[in-house]
Structure 1
Amino acid sequence: MNEFQNLYGPTAVVTGASSGIGKSFAMLLARRGLNLVLVARRKDRLEALAAELRQHHNISVTVYESDLAKPSAAAEIIAATTDMDIGLVISNAGFGLKGEFSNTNAQQMADMLMVNCHTPMQLAHGFLPALRARGKGGIVFTSSVEGLIGCPYSTGYAATKALIISLGEGLWGELQEAGIDVLTLCPGATDTEAPALQGIDPRTLQNLMAPDDVAELALANLKNGPTYIPSEHYKASFDMLLSLPRRHALQLMAKSLKPEA
């Protein structure tokens, strides 16, 4: 057994595992020898990924279909894994909405709040007692650089990701003596389905990172919490923004991010 397996095995839960960064997390953890519980809405994609990982890595993979916008989703996932020794929880699922806040669909905002905030918080709360009892393990929250400051024209999404950063940092502080590592991952632009789903042409994005690279860097820095930005470009950009007076930074962002009429 390697050190990573010893600390975070034998089993990891990954939400949002059907694509993007979540799928990359699943593949990288399988290579490290961890058994997996893969959670997402698209069961067909999860089944295909599970079959591939079982074949190539000789691990146990459980598929759990779940709509994380349901208030009961986290409790159902926790109940379904009661008999498993979960050493790592990767709360990765999430989605965003772009554009003027007043034009945002109210139901989509409510679903975003559930998926991005409610479910990660409840998952952490539900899995923590067993992690504490183990005396080792980890939690990874996928947030965004947009959670570091209110982002005009991404206002609701940025607010949800700010909650996740605060949640992860608070838990990191609480769990320092419990042997549980907490990392809040804040990617910048990443080559996933998300940009297109938000109406953004991925070809227009600069400094786009591959999801495999984002996930690999997150796992490599799991002990270096509380918050980690994998992109040097976005780290430098947001360091600059956060060094400015808040009003000035927000005015600059609003001017540069305003959608074309």
Structure 2
Amino acid sequence: MNGAVAVDAAGAGPDCARRYGPVALVTGASSGIGAAFAQRLAARGLDLVLVARRRDRLEALASQLAAVHGVGVTVLQADLAATDGPQQVAEATAALDIGLVVSNAGFSLKGDHAGNDPAALTELLMVNCHAPLQLTRAFIPRLRARGRGGIILTSSVEGLIGCPYSGAYSATKALVKALGEALWAELRNDGIDVLTLCPGATATEGAARGGYDPSTVQHMDQPDAVAEQALAGLADGPILISSDHYRRLFEQLTTMPRRDALAAMAKGMRTSRGA
């Protein structure tokens, strides 16, 4: 679905605002897919709560969205690596009628697992797993009380299988995928749509933190296209793989005998790393 995106009724502007408005919460909103979600939702007329650690980035984005789309934007600086980070977000937004929760904050670690920094592994677990677990727990009662709304969880195609030289990251994203599937089934009769977004390689700042150069990666998607597909497919759930290339690749890998798939992936990664 790269390029042309089929937008259903829920993904269209006025219908999206009625179904998931008046306010959408987006974590990891300072750059990448999170910023793209903010842009797309503002264009659909939803007010926003933008959450990230970098206040300056959030304020610049908020000013732009308010000026271009005339929406209200609340900036909320929060550290989702902190144990109480998600609770701070829930408490700070208690007075707002939030109809869409986009739990997008996350980052990756690449390379040999034994070489990962212990502190970085803890932060990875907190941001990628603890935050979506706690945010969904906090906001589901509020969405149920409204009788309508939506949740988007950003996972990854790497959550579909244990990926060699990306073991910790793929493990965290497997948790997000399982959580999203479970919540889709739990909430489907409550008027709450749940979608787990599984992007492939995407041109974001997180690529550099993950230890690879995006310019060297083929089949790289743009954040705006990924966010658009997610909003267009939110009502369809439970899983959306936003890249045709990676959908085909991981469909092939997950239907192979697992030993063969993992050995082939490890060999490919060693070759690409020059090991």
TM-score, with length taken from structure 1 = 0.99
Distance of 2:60 and 2:190 partners within structure 1? 36
Tell me which of 12, 18, 42 is aligned to 1:6.
18
Mapped pair 1:87 → 2:99: yes
Partner of 2:274: 260
CA distance in 1, matches of 2:101, 2:211: 30
* CA offset digits 1:111-163 (Å, max 9, x no partner): 00000000111000000001001111000000000000000000000000000
Structure 2 residue 224 is the aligned partner of structure 1 residue 212: yes
| Counterpart residue number, 2:213 | 201
Q: 1:123 aligned to 2:135?
A: yes
Matched, 1:112 2:112: no
Does the 8 Å contact 2:109/2:211 carry over to 1?
A: no
Counterpart residue number, 2:262: 250
Q: Aligned residue for 2:156?
A: 144
- For 1:47 and 1:176, locate their aligned partners in 2 and report how far apart those are by CA, in whole Å: 35
| 8 Å CA contact retained: 2:197, 2:230 | yes
Name 1:72's counterpart in structure 2. 84
Report SS of the residue matched to 2:193: strand
- Where do 1:157-236 residues align within 5 Å? 157-236=169-248
Counterpart of 2:36 in structure 1 is 24
Q: Given the alignment of the two structures, is residue 62 of structure 1 paired with residue 65 of structure 2, yes or no? A: no
The Cα shift of 1:194 comes to 1.6
Higher relative contact order (CA 8 A, sep 6+): 2
Of residues 17, 35, 49 in structure 1, which corresponds to 2:47? 35
- The percentage of counterpart residues that share the same residue type is 57
What count of residue pairs does the alignment treat as equivalent? 261
User: Distance in 2 between the 1:41 and 1:194 partners?
Assistant: 14
Code of the residue aligned with 1:176 in structure 2: it is R
Structure 1 vs Structure 2 CA RMSD: 0.8
TM-score (norm 2): 0.94
Deviation at 1:260, TM superposition (A): 2.4
Equivalent-residue separation in structure 1 for 2:88 and 2:45 (angstroms): 26
Deviations 1:47-76 (A, max 9, x none): 000001111111110000011100100100
User: Any stretches of 5+ residues in structure 2 without a counterpart?
Assistant: 1-12
Aligned-partner residue type, residue 43 of structure 1: R
Partner of 1:2: helix, strand, or coil?
helix
C-alpha distance in structure 1 between counterparts of 2:37 and 2:237, whole Å: 17
Q: Is the 8 A contact 2:180 2:196 kept in 1?
A: yes
Give the 3-state SS of the residue equivalent to 2:181 in structure 1.
helix
Report deviation, 1:195. 1.6
Whole-angstrom distance in 1 between the partners of 2:153 and 2:163: 20
Q: Give the aligned residue type for 1:29.
A: L
